[in-house]
Each structure stands twice: as structure tokens, then as C-alpha cells.
């Protein structure tokens, strides 16, 4: 993975500095690095990167600017700001009440309102209608974002190349229908987060407790219902390692017994199979901290399954495993709150970590 050059230089210097200093000096160095990382996000992304280092899945790239708006087709965005990540990009979310949309035009521009040399023509078939990534859907494991879209909401998948820097730029979006009616333009301004950015969360953390236990209702043969755990946990250890240079890994080892739904339904009590199964995996990637919202995002670029290696894989564009989790410190513990919507219902999971 290639770093933005000034960040790479700073990280290299910091590593040398840390190796020759006391713990107090390490904390000071981590804080200085975090401040430098946050400052990178305030810079303007050069027009050269907007011209050559952005791609849109399924789009055609055309020279010049898109055709001018000529109608009042409905097009709305929930926010005129978006958060993006290096080596990964972002999903541009919008909504419309129109039912015969054919596609969208997307034009990027720098903070001085200079247009990129080309624009993207994205067919409606390439719009995301729910949150997705280029990876298999791993339902197990901590800190797994599971955010979906509702009817009328769409996303356009925007990817960055390896050399795309942190900083700010904007995008003009309009949609069009099969009769070549073109909506008015909506503008979204994007901040590309630098990796890292909060010295306080650097370190090795062990999951102490969480509220994301998987439960569901079973209807018994006597027509009563009971709520049961999907599995009986015998042993579970989760380690989250956060490094000052923006790297992270999260490891989980678990031993459990799976629910026996047939026996549970017959006896109307939670019954589990005797076989002990194991779960042993590791996610490795980059983390970013939004200092304004006080949120943490984890983007995995490598997944390792130590039980069944055939499921191990690399993610060139990243796999978003935690999106904007709220960060708080309570009695020295790291508390991460993940709020997400699925099938129209909002859920909140809270993860409490202690330092190892």
C-alpha cells in the first residue's frame, strides 16, 4: 500500500523517534503525529488527482462537462457533506421519488471550483440499492457494519487510486431519465480522512463486553415463543490493536456450540448441539478518526480465516467493518457505539474495551 508521501515521511521519522524515547515521549510523539494527520485533511485535493485518480464503478468517462439541467426531476441528498477514505473512496448517497431514472452525471471539482477535465456517466444499473462491498458478507465477528438503504435511496460507488491524498474536494451530481430530462445539480463536498488521527486510542485493547449478542425467537411446538442465543459461547477473546501510523488489526478466537432448533422447539428451552465449533480470524487494515464527530472508522484490506483458509482474501478497495462508530472513554475504557439501520429498523451496538 502506498502512503501519501508527506505522511509516509512523518511516520518513518516518528518510528525512529519512538524507539529512542521514554513512554512519556512516546505519548507526546503520538499526539504530535495525530495532529499532523488531522491537518492533512484540511488541504485541498489537487485537480491532478481528481483527473486521474478517481474511478466510478460501471461508469463511462467523458471529456468536458455534463449536459445542462433542463427539468425538475426530484433529486435529494440528506447531507451536502461526505466522508471518504484513502485507498478506498466513498459511497455517494442520494434519493429520488422518480421511477424511470436512466442514470446520473457526476463531475468532480476542487475547492476553488475548478472542474475536472472529465465527467462520469453512470447507468442506473450500477446504482447500489443497499450497502455492499467487493467482499463476501461475513455475518460473524465484532464491529461489523450492516447498514442498508431503503426504497428510493441509492448510492454510487466512488473509488480512489493508491496515490489519492487526504484533503477536500466537491462533486456535482444530477440524474436523468429515459426521455433525457436532467435534474438540477446537487453538490456534495467530500473530506478524505487521513489514516490515524487520535493518539488516545493507540494501543492494544481487549473486548470486555458488548451488546451485539445474536438472539432470535423460536416458536415452540406448544405455540409458546422463547428468545434464545444463536450459539452458546464457551470461550471468546477479541483483541483490537490500534497503531499510531493508521494501521490496525482485530483478532477474534471463539469456541461455541450451535443452537439445535428442532430440540429447542420440542422442549421449549434453549438446547445446543454437543459439538464444539471454533472461530479464529483476523482483519488487518487502516483506521481513521473524525475529530469533529469523534467517530472511528475501520477499513479492512485483508481477512484471514485460520480455521478454513479458503475464506481468506484481500480487499483492494477495502471492506468497511466499522463506519463512524462513536468513541468515548469511560473510566479508562474505550467505548465504541455503532448505530446502524437495517430493514427500516435502527440498532445500536456498544463495545467496551480495556487496555491489555
Pairing between β-strand 345-355 and β-strand 90-95 as defined by DSSP bridges: unpaired
Query: Quick one: cell of 189?
Result: 463536498
10 has a pLDDT exceeding 60 = no
Produce one character per residue of 210-226: b if its CB has 16 or more CB atoms within 10 Å, e if not.
beeeeeeebeeeeeeee
Residue 8 is predicted with a pLDDT of 30
Span 260-275, pLDDT tens digits: 999 999 999 999 999 9
Span 154-213, pLDDT tens digits: 999 999 998 999 999 999 999 999 999 999 999 999 999 999 999 999 999 999 998 876
340 contacts: CB under 8 Å, gap ≥ 6: 145, 146, 147, 323, 346, 347, 349
| Per-residue pLDDT band at 19 (split at 50, 70, 90) | very low
26 contacts: CB under 8 Å, gap ≥ 6: 18
- CB neighbours (10 Å) of residue 200? 14
Q: Are 297 and 288 in contact (CB under 8 A)?
A: yes
Which backbone phi and psi does 117 adopt, to 5 degrees? -75, -20
Residue with cell 442506473: 124
Span 282-323, pLDDT tens digits: 999 999 999 989 999 999 999 999 999 999 999 988 888 998
Residue 25 is predicted with a pLDDT of 52
Q: Are 163 and 87 in contact (CB under 8 A)?
A: no
Cα atoms found within 13 Å of the Cα of residue 38, Cβ hemisphere only: 15
167 contacts: CB under 8 Å, gap ≥ 6: 40, 41, 42, 43, 44, 45, 191, 192
3-class DSSP state of 266: helix
SS (H, E, C) 34-97: HHHHHHHCCCECCHHHHHHCEEECCCEEEECCCCCCCCCCCCECCCCEEEEECCCEEEEEEECC
Span 135-152, pLDDT tens digits: 333 444 677 665 667 778
Q: Does domain 199-355 have CATH number 1.10.287?
A: no
Give the C-alpha separation, 326 to 324, whole Å: 6
Residue 135 is predicted with a pLDDT of 34
* Architecture of domain 47-193 in this structure: Sandwich (2.60)
24 contacts: CB under 8 Å, gap ≥ 6: none
Q: Are 299 and 314 in contact (CB under 8 A)?
A: no
Q: Are 100 and 128 in contact (CB under 8 A)?
A: no
Query: Percentage of the chain surpassing pLDDT 90?
Result: 69
Q: How many residues does the chain have?
A: 356
- Region at 62 (left for phi over 0; alpha for psi -120 to 50; beta for the rest): beta
- Map out the domains of the chain as residue ranges: 5-40, 47-193, 199-355
Residue 138 is predicted with a pLDDT of 41
Assess whether the region 47-193 and the region 199-355 belong to the same CATH fold.
no
Which whole number is the average pLDDT over 321-349?
Answer: 88
Measure the CA angle with vertex 19, ends 14 and 25; round to 5°: 70
Give the C-alpha separation, 218 to 58, whole Å: 43
Query: Quick one: cell of 30?
Result: 503520538
Which backbone phi and psi does 151 adopt, to 5 degrees? -55, 135
Amino acid at each position: 500500500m502506498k502512503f501519501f508521501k508527506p505522511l509516509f515521511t512523518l511516520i518513518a521519522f516518528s518510528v525512529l523517534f519512538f524507539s529512542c524515547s521514554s513512554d512519556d515521549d512516546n505519548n507526546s510523539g503520538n499526539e504530535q503525529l495525530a495532529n499532523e494527520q488531522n491537518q492533512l485533511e484540511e488541504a485541498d485535493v489537487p485537480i491532478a488527482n481528481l483527473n486521474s485518480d478517481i474511478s466510478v464503478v460501471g461508469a463511462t468517462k467523458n471529456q468536458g462537462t455534463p449536459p445542462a439541467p433542463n427539468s425538475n426531476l426530484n433529486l435529494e441528498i440528506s447531507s451536502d457533506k461526505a466522508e471518504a477514505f484513502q485507498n478506498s473512496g466513498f459511497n455517494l448517497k442520494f434519493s429520488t421519488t422518480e421511477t424511470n431514472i436512466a442514470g446520473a452525471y457526476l463531475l468532480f471539482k476542487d475547492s476553488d471550483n475548478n472542474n475536472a477535465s472529465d465527467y462520469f456517466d453512470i447507468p442506473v444499473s450500477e446504482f447500489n440499492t443497499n450497502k455492499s462491498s467487493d467482499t463476501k458478507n461475513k455475518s460473524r465477528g465484532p464491529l461489523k457494519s450492516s447498514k442498508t438503504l431503503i426504497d428510493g435511496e441509492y448510492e454510487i460507488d466512488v473509488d480512489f487510486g493508491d496515490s489519492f491524498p487526504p484533503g477536500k474536494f466537491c462533486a456535482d451530481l444530477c440524474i436523468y431519465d429515459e426521455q433525457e430530462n436532467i435534474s438540477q445539480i446537487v453538490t456534495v463536498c467530500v473530506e478524505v480522512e487521513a489514516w490515524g488521527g487520535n493518539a488516545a486510542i493507540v494501543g492494544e485493547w481487549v473486548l470486555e463486553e458488548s451488546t451485539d449478542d445474536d438472539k432470535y425467537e423460536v416458536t415452540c411446538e406448544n405455540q409458546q415463543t422463547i428468545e434464545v442465543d444463536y450459539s452458546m459461547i464457551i470461550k471468546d477473546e477479541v483483541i483490537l490493536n490500534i497503531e499510531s501510523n493508521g494501521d490496525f488489526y482485530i483478532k477474534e478466537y471463539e469456541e461455541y456450540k450451535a443452537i439445535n432448533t428442532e430440540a429447542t422447539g420440542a422442549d421449549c428451552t434453549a438446547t445446543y448441539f454437543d459439538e464444539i465449533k471454533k472461530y479464529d480470524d483476523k482483519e488487518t487494515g487502516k483506521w481513521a478518526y473524525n475529530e469533529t464527530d469523534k467517530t472511528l472508522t475501520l477499513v479492512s484490506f485483508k481477512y484471514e480465516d485460520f480455521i478454513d483458509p479458503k475464506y481468506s482474501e484481500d480487499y483492494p478497495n477495502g471492506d468497511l467493518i466499522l463506519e463512524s462508530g462513536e468513541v468515548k472513554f469511560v473510566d479508562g475504557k474505550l467505548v465504541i457505539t455503532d448505530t446502524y439501520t437495517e430493514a427500516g429498523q435502527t440498532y445500536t451496538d456498544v463495545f467496551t474495551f480495556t487496555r491489555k
